[in-house]
Structure 1
Amino acid sequence: MPSPGRWVAYVVPACAALATCFVPASVAPADDKPKLPQAPRFPFGEEQAKTFRDDYAKAAGLPREVTNSVGMKLVLVPPGNFEMGPNGSTYRVTLAKPFHAGVTEVTLGQYRKFKAGHNVEGADDEFNEDDRPAAMVSWDDARAFCAWLSAQDDEKKAGRMYALPTEAQWEWAARAGTSTSRHFGETDKEQAKFSWFNATYTPNPKNEAKGRGRQPVGKLPPNAWGLHDTLGNVWEWCGDRRTDEATGEARDPVMRGGSWRSGAFHCTAVAHDPGSPGTKGDNIGFRVVCTVAAGAK
């Protein structure tokens, strides 16, 4: 029984003339929704990142990992705020909503389900295997893939909508809680352990040949969120494109993360390269993000 004096008033339509009915506080409606955990103070370490991701997934009722209808694996990236940009030119960014990000860059095998027979012309056969990241894909092409994937019946039933990451989403995902230019440190000392890049700093071949080119995805260690190849392998398109109708200004979209043709300087969480929406290259691909409905599997 509730203690004396602890009574809560509710207006109940069933009561005569909408009179005020009194019920004990012990039976008053309660909010059982779990409280979402707050992001650790930026920057934070690998174990904090993993714990925060797992706790957020549980509290929000979101799957920590998803495998979609084209065999693509995605992992939850929780919301938070961080200092975006290179040292000396950073600004505070808040991401209020979680999203799922592709564990790897979109592969040729996955992209061919959208565009059958897609190949990188001039590349040795090994570089057109299904496990290599898709390349020769423009910003327009990548957005079209996201629209196609979102329209698939299994994806619609699961409540998944796909897009290219914004620059803020991309950098938050690539940093995985770190404030250094690379998720594994500030310098390129361990660059070869975590990314495919022009490690020898020798002139790049005209086409992918003799082992030099895109490498199979997911072979190198991931960052704390569980994302592979955020740095190197292929540049990754971002979805936002700056426009201003009032002034008529329009800027090219950008790609992030560097590629197999890049030196270590460009394989960082802050490097970016602009390109027109139709730009293509054997070192340009993309990664997707998606929103997932709570309770989805």
Structure 2
Amino acid sequence: MIFITGGTVTLSDRRTERTWQTVVASYALATTAVTRSEYQRVTGGPPPSPADGPLPAVEISWWDAAAFCNALSQQERLSPVYRLDPLAEVAEWDETANGYRLPTEAEWEHACRAGTTGPHYGALNDIAWYRHNSDERSHPVGGKQPNDWGLHDTLGNVWEWCWDVYDPEAYGTYRVLRGGGWFDEHWSCRASVRRRSHPTLRLDDVGFRVARSATKS
């Protein structure tokens, strides 16, 4: 986990041509997406083959990702952040809890940019696995250059679930995905791009990384 100093983030949506600002507090964010071996260790699911261990965990629904955060919190004797009832489509965030959670999309974009203002924090071939260089498959996490704050693969490799609902009036419970993936063209692997998916779907180019509300102390 890397400590991220908070700040003001400007987000935008190409579909609605809307722009808005969000203030984020300081937080901590994992340097990479959760891997298949990490997911198996926490959830007790089938172990990946040795070659698959460092690959990002994929085919993980939003509900799976949130449940993983609670399970990891419990393993590390932290307070679970979420109250989850998938059948009732209820997900509540206890902001007093100190456990693991999904980043908000403002936190995600703030961390991805790492103080930069362009579409990428470096040359895309150097920082991301995408359709041009991925051989149309995911790759072990951390294999490309990190951004200036030490975060790997925020662009490319796999899309990442965020906490936020995408647009409840138009899309109901659909949740936000960020970052672009191994099958995407370069225009989808940009710091500002938003994608949506139903929280029950499990897709082969979608994973997640964990965050914690945190201070330096």
Q: TM-score, normalised by structure 2?
A: 0.81
Q: CA deviation at 1:154?
A: 4.1
Aligned residue for 1:113, secondary structure, equals helix
1:289 and 2:211 aligned: yes
Aligned residue for 1:85, secondary structure, equals strand
Q: CA deviation at 1:101?
A: 0.3
CA distance change for structure 1 residues 195 and 242 in 2, over 3 Å: closer, same or farther? closer
- Unpaired runs of at least 5, structure 1: 1-73, 185-189, 202-210
Equivalent residue number for residue 130 of structure 2:
197
Q: CA deviation at 1:155?
A: 3.9
Equivalent residue number for residue 3 of structure 1:
none
The total of aligned residue pairs comes to 198
Q: CA deviation at 1:259?
A: 0.4
2-side partners of 1:183 and 1:153: how far apart?
Answer: 33
1:107–1:130 contact (8 Å) kept in structure 2: yes
Structure (1/2) with the larger strand percentage: 2
Equivalent residue number for residue 35 of structure 2:
107
Higher gyration radius (CA): 1
Q: CA deviation at 1:212?
A: 3.9
1:197–1:261 contact (8 Å) kept in structure 2: yes
Q: CA deviation at 1:249?
A: 7.9
1:76–1:99 contact (8 Å) kept in structure 2: yes
AA in 1 matched with 2:40: R
Equivalent residue number for residue 102 of structure 2:
164
1:161–1:292 contact (8 Å) kept in structure 2: no
| 1:176-191 pair list within 5 angstroms | 176-184=114-122, 190-191=123-124
Residue 223 of structure 1 is aligned with which of 147, 157, 165?
A: 147
Equivalent residue number for residue 258 of structure 1:
180
Higher relative contact order (CA 8 A, sep 6+): 2
Equivalent residue number for residue 233 of structure 1:
157
Q: TM-score, normalised by structure 1?
A: 0.60
Equivalent residue number for residue 83 of structure 1:
10
2-side partners of 1:108 and 1:251: how far apart?
Answer: 26
Alpha-carbon deviations, 1:237-291, whole Å to 9, x = none?
A: 01112687xx898341021111001111111111121111111111110011112
Equivalent residue number for residue 268 of structure 1:
190
Aligned residue for 1:91, secondary structure, equals strand
AA in 2 matched with 1:106: V
Calculate the aligned-residue CA RMSD, in Å.
2.7
2-side partners of 1:154 and 1:270: how far apart?
Answer: 35
CA distance change for structure 1 residues 232 and 243 in 2, over 3 Å: closer, same or farther? closer
